[in-house]
A and B are shown apart, each in its own frame.
Chain A
Amino acid sequence: DQQVKQNSPSLSVQEGRISILNCDYTNSMFDYFLWYKKYPAEGPTFLISISSIKDKNEDGRFTVFLNKSAKHLSLHIVPSQPGDSAVYFCAASAPLDSNSGYALNFGKGTSLLVTP
């Protein structure tokens, strides 16, 4: 049961333009959301996160927006650069039980290609 969904397997954007990556979730208990970037043969690299008490978080060229009522978040990259080409994973976490485990639930990823 996929609780975090990234419905676009791939996205192609021109250099300098905005890249918008989308993510939907089904579990209303999720209270922390993250985006990871992954290059081939490497582990995922943390990019940016947002708590459910916020609706926007910005870090340089990267902004994450959270719409709790729609259970939707998005990652905006402005301006996009060729080096941003990678697979982007959306992840969400919620307290698992009284022992406070915090596993990440990942989407299947969106492959972003930024062309010169």
Chain B
Amino acid sequence: DSGVTQTPKHLITATGQRVTLRCSPRSGDLSVYWYQQSLDQGLQFLIQYYNGEERAKGNILERFSAQQFPDLHSELNLSSLELGDSALYFCASSGTSQGEQFFGPGTRLTVL
């Protein structure tokens, strides 16, 4: 158990809809990262927050957004969903700005 929790575990929705994925980092970790793993792809970095502030952005679509709240949990919002957004979405946290990241169990999103 990494100490990082993600909800929900599975999510099935339709094209055009909007969903919110939630992540609680390990106790004391200030950095939260979001990654997407599509079929046959490695994990692709989406976005990082550090103590409530956006720190880095990867190949995140404009339809996607995230935030980190004062209690350090984070939410990833995906809107106008397309079939190609079906993937595993992982959240990770770390204590130092560069270092090991600890991953949650992921949320499997299926867009029908």
A residues adjacent to B (C-beta < 8 A)? 2, 4, 32, 34, 36, 41-46, 49, 89, 91, 93, 95-97, 99-109
Contacts and interface: CB of A to CB of B under 8 A. Distances in A.
Nearest to A94: B98
Nearest to A31: B98
Interface string B34-45: 010000111111
Contacts, number: 75
B2 A109 contact: no
Tell me whether chain A's interface is mostly helix, strand or loop, or mixed.
Answer: loop
Interface string B10-46: 0000000000000000000001010100001111110
B55 A108 contact: no
Between B4, B90, B97, B101, the greatest number of chain A beta carbons within 10 A of the residue's beta carbon is seen for B101
Contacts of A44: 43, 90, 103
